[in-house]
Amino acid sequence: MGQTNEFAHRMASKTIKLVDSSGYPVGRKEVELKQTNHKFLFGSGIFDAVQVANKSVSADRLPFLEQKLVKFLDVFNFATLPFYWGTFEPEKGKPKTKELKAAAQWLKERNVAVKGHPLCWHTVTAPWLLDMSNEEILKAQFARIEREVSDFKGLIDMWDVINEVVIMPIFDKYDNGVTRISKDLGRVGIIKEMFAKTREFNPGATLLLNDFNTSINYEILIDGCLNAGIPIDAIGIQSHQHQGYWGREKLEEVLDRFSHFGLPIHFTENTLTSGHLMPTEIEDLNDYQIPEWPSTPEFEERQANEVEEMYSILFKHPQVEAITSWSLSDDGAWLGAPAGFIRKDNSPKPAYEVLKKLIKGDWYTNVTCKTDDNGMVSFEGFLGEYDLVCGDKKVSFILDKDAESVRLVI
Amino acid sequence: MGQTNEFAHRMASKTIKLVDSSGYPVGRKEVELKQTNHKFLFGSGIFDAVQVANKSVSADRLPFLEQKLVKFLDVFNFATLPFYWGTFEPEKGKPKTKELKAAAQWLKERNVAVKGHPLCWHTVTAPWLLDMSNEEILKAQFARIEREVSDFKGLIDMWDVINEVVIMPIFDKYDNGVTRISKDLGRVGIIKEMFAKTREFNPGATLLLNDFNTSINYEILIDGCLNAGIPIDAIGIQSHQHQGYWGREKLEEVLDRFSHFGLPIHFTENTLTSGHLMPTEIEDLNDYQIPEWPSTPEFEERQANEVEEMYSILFKHPQVEAITSWSLSDDGAWLGAPAGFIRKDNSPKPAYEVLKKLIKGDWYTNVTCKTDDNGMVSFEGFLGEYDLVCGDKKVSFILDKDAESVRLVI
């Protein structure tokens, strides 16, 4: 357990008064305080949960995917599920609500928090929007937000509301309905509308703005949104590093620039590969298409080192509240990149072991101590969920920054 | 007179009923309709007006500066006066209010509209701000705005409220008070505060945001400001083209991107030189310091062609309401560049003649016509101020888009 000052913001002290069901102190007993979950969100994109939860995959592939999810559950407590309009509702009026609900439910039952990604984006948006007037597209976009946010309330209470707005109105790779309406509304205008609509149907949800653009453009956009009163709960930063790890200096510089808004920061889409680097002259990562992008032992070591440094920097930063790796596995990874923590055969790479050691070891609290005559015991630990085990009895509690002392009945 | 459709937005038709002092129609008389001023603002920086109005220059230089101003008045109807805090109030509490008032008055008497530049900027700001806390700097900045805007109300009703905000909080060439407070307030925040304060002390003034950055950064900043309810009256665009004329394509692209906000656009600081081009590798124009930057006949022809094309494109664009050339003369021009319409000896370059022909010829209305039996006469002309001359009598009127007909007493 790394109880150093650099993690003070991730920890709390608590004094527990342990009593039995009659209210008598449980004195002079050995108790184990075992962390069972992090408050911090360690996530990954886990689109396979849709197929596993719905068993909508061939019988020989299902066990493989189930095994992949075991690897996910061993380390992570946070999942991003796909709500791309174009794949969620490829045919107008036939959304995959049932399939996504099953996946969200499957994850929730396993104590995994779920984020929906994204409600509004110009890429992979519904192709049938192109047949509509701009007024109709906006109405359809509102109706889609109302439907998904209402249908999933309680299962999904965190949304990437709108994605990549810096480029949205000038996106020119192909015509699409969302770029069309973003031109009408302007960047801040479309963000304002989409946040208002999402908030309307889930007032308590955590709502993110998300972008791969980490330049001054995104800073000014956020600045404008906040001054326009848009209720952004967290700033989403993508960090697909197929062309090489940003490194400490850039990472800290980005954190510095985006933390001055005083909002929580989520690293929403992180990629560090265990393969050769994509050439830097590629501007749109989607343009890099190669038949084979192997994971190699040498690059797996590099990936493990980068993962260790990057996660440590982010976990140390008081405003970062979530890190999502975009690909858990090389199997099915975006661009065919060896971007996973596990290989195509589900075997863990060094990065997986390194991350597991941090999340479930160095940054996890498991202590044994003894209650005093009055049943009191004090401890300090990483924020999250805990079991207190005493003999054959167990009681669960949450360690947060709110209360210094608590009475537990065992 | 260029009464073609491309200038329809700059023109109006008017029917005048001319009557004598007893109210009888002045029928079947020849009248001259002579434009005396443009509605459109054709301007230049004319800092020499301070010295001329105050006669605060050596006796041998004064006639030279007066002659320069004659050249200005022959063509232009709009002047930018310097309100750089560091030169306006180099010693705290001793502002050059009297000197600037004399200059503004001098210009106003000559029917020249005046803009103050700028109320808030990180460059040439008051050095004594550095001794203050950020709270004190902000108070001083507010007090400075209150003082200048109040003192000059009626003389100066147009202000570049805040200058170059895109770079303001990350400006790192030297420490300064304005960058310090912009870091606290954020970009949109400092714009909001400065506009509110300026508006408070001159509610009817025309207030500009001004920047040399014409990238997506400035677009997003404006978008944020407008969504935050900041009352920007006109978008100021700098266009110092020491490194070469933008050309039609870039100019139209910039107009296209900044006109979709629906606001008037002012080209606030235009430069086209009649010398060699500054190398493009120079990033901050201020870094280019050379002993001599001559104006040559060859480059004077180029400048004249560029001026003709650029002014024509801007005058044709319905949202552009002002063009200010930063330097009237090579004498005293920024960076020592041959950026003027006149040379160091006050002799006009071809660009001066070209521009005069456009402003006072092609885009100016002078017609002679005859009233009918009822004293009626109709005409179409460029928007602005007019004299109607009939025999030895004269009456002035304004041609605008508001009223189709007017009754004039002569």
Q: Residue A404's pLDDT is what?
A: 82
| pLDDT per position as a tens digit, A355-364 | 999 999 999 9
ipTM of the complex: 0.84
Give chain A's end-to-end CA distance (angstroms, integer).
26
Q: Contact, A198 vs A151, CB < 8 A?
A: no
**DSSP secondary structure code for residue B394 in this structure:** E
DSSP states along A58-102: -TTTHHHHHHHHHHHHHH-SEEEEE--HHHHSSSTT---HHHHHH
- Residue holding tokens 């890190």? A323
Nearest to B217 among A189, A220, A225 (CB): A220
Give the model confidence (pLDDT) of B111-127 as tens digits.
999 999 999 999 999 99
Round to whole Å and give the CA distance between B52 and B65: 7
CA dist A26 and A18 (Å) reads 6
CB contacts of A209 in chain B (<8 Å) are: none
Q: Which of residues 196 through 235 in chain B touch A, CB cutoff 8 A?
A: 216-217, 220-221, 223-229
Q: State both tokens at A321.
A: 């509240």
Task: Spell out which residues of chain B touch residue A262, defining contact as CB-CB under 8 Å.
Answer: none
Q: What is the pLDDT of residue A4?
A: 53
The whole-angstrom separation of Cα A320 and Cα A254 is 12
Edge-to-edge order in the sheet of strand B366-370: B366-370, B30-38, B384-390, B393-399
Record the pTM. 0.90
pLDDT for the residue B3: 46
Per-residue pLDDT, B2: 45
Average pLDDT score over residue span B189-213: 98
Distance CA A131, CA A91 (A): 13
- How many Cβ atoms sit within 10 Å of the Cβ of residue A30? 12
B403 pLDDT above the threshold of 80: no
Contact with chain A for residue B254, Cβ under 8 A? no
| Cβ–Cβ gap A224/B224 under 8 Å | yes
Q: Work out the pLDDT band at B404, boundaries 50, 70, 90.
A: confident
Q: Which residues of B touch A260 (CB under 8 A)?
A: 183, 186
Would you state the pLDDT for residue B59? 93
Q: Which residues of A touch B188 (CB under 8 A)?
A: 220, 223-224, 226-227
> Mutating which of B182, B216, B261 best tests the A interface, going by the most A Cβ atoms within 10 A?
B216
pLDDT digits (tens, 9 = 90+) for B152-173: 999 999 999 999 999 999 999 9
Helix (H) or strand (E) holding B70: helix B62-75
Chain A residues close to B220, C-beta within 8 Å: 166, 187-188, 217, 220-221, 224
- Residue carrying structure tokens 């700059």: B10
What is the interface size between A and B, counted as CB pairs within 8 Å?
Answer: 68
Q: Does A119 touch chain B (CB under 8 A)?
A: no
Task: List the single residue in A with minimal CA-CA distance to B228.
Answer: A228
Residue range B310-333: average pLDDT? Answer: 97
Q: Which residues of A176-209 are buried (b: 16+ CB within 10 A; e: fewer)?
A: bbbbbbbbebbbbbbbbbbbebbbebbeebbbbb
Structure confidence at residue B344 as a pLDDT band (50, 70, 90): very high
Residues 6+ apart with CB under 8 A from A109: none
Closest-approach residue (CA) in chain B for A189: B227
B342: DSSP letter: B
Report the alpha-carbon angle B157-B159-B161, nearest 5.
Answer: 145
Q: What distance in Å separates the CA atoms of residue A380 and residue A24, rounded to the nearest whole number?
A: 24
Residue A228: list chain B partners with CB under 8 A: 224, 227-229
Q: Which residue has the tokens 């202000």?
A: B159
Digitized pLDDT (tens) for each residue of chain A, 410 residues in all: 444 578 999 999 999 999 999 999 999 999 999 999 999 999 999 999 999 999 999 999 999 999 999 999 999 999 999 999 999 999 999 999 999 999 999 999 999 999 999 999 999 999 999 999 999 999 999 999 999 999 999 999 999 999 999 999 999 999 999 999 999 999 999 999 999 999 999 999 999 999 999 999 999 999 999 999 999 999 999 999 999 999 999 999 999 999 999 999 999 999 999 999 999 999 999 999 999 999 999 999 999 999 999 999 999 999 999 999 999 999 999 999 999 999 999 999 999 999 999 999 999 999 999 999 999 999 999 999 999 999 999 999 999 998 788 899 99
Distance between start and end Cα atoms, chain B: 26
Per-residue model confidence (pLDDT) at position B4: 53
| Average model confidence (pLDDT) across chain B | 96
Under DSSP, is residue A396 helix (H, G, I), strand (E, B) or coil?
strand
pLDDT classification of B226: cutoffs 50, 70, 90: very high
Q: Count Cβ atoms below 10 Å from residue A128 Cβ, excluding itself.
A: 16
Q: Do B221 and A220 touch (CB under 8 A)?
A: yes
